[in-house]
Amino acid sequence: MITFLRVDHRLLHGQVAFSWTQYVGADCILIANDAVMDDELRKTTIKLAKPPAVKLVLKNIADAIAAIKSGVTDKYKLFIVVESVEDAWRMACVIPEITSINLGGIKPKEGSQNISKAINVRPEEINLLNELVKAGTEIEIRQVPNDRKVLFAECIK
């Protein structure tokens, strides 16, 4: 069962590993990211941030989608973390169980606009998020669970 999907350019770190994992009651964290699979240093760093009682799985986006669709993850309370809006969009478009996406940290990039404290999106990312909203996916912005939930649509002018 998918409990949560978060977009965070840092992937797994203290906020995600402890605050969010406990808040959503996850027993498995799935890091879905294409670049991390070829980066031993990042993989090691992510593994060091894992909470002790939680399973950690690292997969590229295609393999993560295949695993979820196959049902192999059904036995877990799955918390998915992706690095980008595009990755979240790729997953949400083919996995109907993803009904809500949390934007937690997206660093500034060339051409991006700041829409919240730690959320910077480019026009093409805004289009992808709007597409998901139109399809019925809730897109929310929160750094930590205790923050007030702000809907993406409220931040776009």
pLDDT tens by residue, 25-42: 999 999 999 999 999 999
pLDDT at 155: 87
Q: Work out the mean pLDDT of the chain and round it to a whole number.
A: 95
The pLDDT score that the predictor gives to residue 16 is 80
Q: Is the pLDDT of residue 83 over 90?
A: yes
Question: 2-155: which CATH number, 3.60.70.12, 3.40.35.10, 3.40.50.10090, 3.40.50.12280?
Answer: 3.40.35.10
- pTM of structure: 0.95
The full 3-state SS of 122-148, as one line of letters, equals: CHHHHHHHHHHHHCCCEEEECCCCCCC
Q: Which of 25, 81, 11, 15 is nearest to 53 (CA)?
A: 25
Q: How far apart are CA 57 and CA 27, in angstroms?
A: 11
What's the confidence (pLDDT) of residue 157?
Answer: 63
